[in-house]
Amino acid sequence: MTEKLTLSQLRFLTLESQGLTKSYPFGKGKDAVLKALERLGYLQIDTLSIVERAHHHTLWTRIPDYKTEYLEELAEERKLFEYWFHAASYLPMKDFRFALPRMLEVKQSETHYYNADPKVMKYVLDTIRYEGPKKAKDFENETQKSGSWWSWKPTKIALERLFLQGDLMISSRKGMQKTYDLTENVLPQTINTIIPTDLEFAEYLVKTYLNGYGFTTTKQITHLKKGELIRKNIDKVLKSMLEEGTIQQVNIENTPPVFVQKCLLERTNKKISNIRLLSPFDNSIIHRDRIKQFFDFDYKIECYIPKEKRQFGYFCLPILFGDTFIGRVDCKAHRKEKVFELIHLHIETTNIDIELWKEQFMEVLKSFAIFNGCEHIKLTKVNPTKLTKLLT
């Protein structure tokens, strides 16, 4: 049986699942961080800090009283761990076993891009085993004796390889500086370490996307997943859930089949009018095809392309008003000067009265500036230019 929904109803459903329709969807404080992570399934870790890093920004968007130390404390309490989802991410510790297939794959690979020297790997592992947790910089000052086979770069590669294949875990981090320890010293003894079957792993992926997004497509679930087996298993899981009645297939014109959590279907007629300033790596927007298809918003982060080819700016933050992406803004936090600069604000949906969102937008900007350690907001450029006076 299929259900017919409008795009507007689907948009509400996924924004609510993402925690973007209420002020405190996960509650307050550190407990809310873990609840948010378990709902979203993962948090992408980003190295860029032109504004607050993506993993912190994504949580701040959903937890108004969020503090960056909450995430670090939860990692040290072993309630979450770092590994790979579709990119480097924080994951709920309860999901650790679903990282095991990739760890095993890396361990068995002879052509991995972290092609570490086995001797260096043994040296690094033995050093951590006998001396305790280490950072990459702890290997930086090794005495460079003639004939030494280790140096900082090979040990860094060894650390990453040992981490990816599961021999080491990241026990803590300060900013982007990671501390590695033996997995046996980090992983709680109560955590299930049985390698999931291929079908169990497919079920984990399906349920992670349904839980985090409310609805999903086969294309989203298989994003960056190679091989026919994973696709067949995902189809099996979806078919089983359809037969059980836990999900329902929804038809939307000009889109592939959409699978929706059945329990959410009755909650699709509410209106939302809040405004959100999202990270480019926010879970809600990271699947660019999905956002284009269901929200009609063509988004691409441009920090990785040459300056002369950028259309909007280096690090544009999507602006979401209700269920519509009304634009994006290229931002930079000048922390020493305590100035948060809107380098170029692009308002693309001009048919919505600016008075409906202007005041709320400025409040969000002020709050985000404070979160970035800034006290003042500087608006450099606005497009269309007729909005300049309205926003100053």
Range(s) of the domain holding residue 222: 2-67+195-267
DSSP string, 238-263: HHHHHHHTSEEEEE-TTS--EEEEGG
Tokens at residue 262, please? 């059945």
Q: Which of these three, 267, 294, 316, is where a domain ends?
A: 267
Predicted confidence (pLDDT) at residue 2 exceeds the cutoff of 60: no
- End residue of a domain, out of 186, 216, 247: 186
Separation between Cα atoms, residue 48 and residue 87, nearest integer Å: 14
* 258, 316: one domain: no
Same domain? For 181 and 250 the reply is no
Look at residue 30 and tell me if it is in a domain: yes
CATH of the domain at 260: 1.10.10.10
Q: Considering the domain boundaries, does residue 76 fall inside one?
A: no
pLDDT at 391 over 80: no
What are phi and psi for residue 141, nearest 5 degrees? -100, 25
Q: Which of 91-117 are b and which e, b meaning 16 or more Cβ less than 10 Å from the residue's Cβ? A: bbbebbbbbbebbeebeeeeeeebebb
Query: Quick check: 45 pLDDT over 90?
Result: yes
Write down the pLDDT at residue 145.
Answer: 47
| Of 111-115, 161-165, 170-174, minimum mean pLDDT range | 111-115
How far is Cα 43 from Cα 164, in angstroms, rounded to an integer? Answer: 17
Query: Of the residues 236, 267, 298, which one is the last residue of a structural domain?
Result: 267
Give me the mean pLDDT over the 39-68 stretch.
Answer: 95
Structural domains counted in the chain? 3
Provide the whole-model pTM: 0.93
pLDDT mean over 126-131? 96
SS3 (DSSP) at 386: helix
19 within domain boundaries: yes
